[in-house]
């Protein structure tokens, strides 16, 4: 009975990790790790070997890096400033609470537009940087979802086989 309850919690944690994509304040990868650790220490400590844990650490690092790299890449590629990039990161968090889930797209877009215009950029340059922040966020989000799915699939495969 305890195993069933732990499995329900693990599945719930994995589902909640994807909600963290819409609400960035929810630590998605941490929830996945808690699920892994619940299995390791609550159900079967012998199933998940050292290779699994090394792979999960690597994927976790990639997950964090993907978001930062995607955002930086697109903002820079579209002519945005460091202030625009930082403003977009903060605006994603604020936007997730203002009008979820669309706030994580709209608020950073508007924020970067305003920041770039305050820095004496033309409306076209500011708009282009805003598009860059939007593409950076969307590509980072896609990467996060993909990596989270891979992590969960690898976990399931390790448990089953």
pLDDT per residue as tens digits for the range 26-36: 789 999 999 99
pLDDT at 39 over 90: yes
pLDDT per residue as tens digits for the range 66-87: 777 787 788 888 988 889 888 8
DSSP 47: T
pLDDT reported for residue 103: 83
Which residue in this structure is represented by tokens 């076209």? 124
pLDDT at 24 over 80: no
pLDDT at 105 over 90: no
pLDDT reported for residue 69: 79
Q: Which H or E run contains 114?
A: helix 103-118
């Amino acid at each position: 009975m305890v195993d069933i309850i732990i499995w329900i919690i693990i599945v719930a944690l994995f589902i909640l990790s994807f909600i963290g994509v819409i609400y960035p304040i929810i630590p998605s990868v941490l929830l996945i790790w808690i699920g892994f650790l619940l299995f390791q220490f609550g159900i079967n400590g012998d199933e998940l070997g050292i290779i699994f844990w090394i792979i999960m650490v690597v994927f976790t690092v990639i997950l964090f890096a993907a978001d930062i790299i995607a955002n930086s890449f697109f903002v820079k590629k579209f002519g945005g400033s460091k202030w625009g990039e930082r403003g977009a990161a903060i605006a994603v968090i604020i936007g997730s609470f203002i009008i979820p889930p669309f706030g994580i797209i709209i608020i950073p877009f508007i924020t970067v537009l305003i920041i770039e215009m305050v820095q004496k950029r033309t409306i076209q340059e500011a708009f282009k940087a805003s598009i860059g922040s939007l593409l950076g966020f969307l590509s980072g989000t896609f990467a996060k979802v993909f990596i989270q799915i891979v992590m969960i699939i690898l976990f399931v495969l390790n448990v089953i086989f």
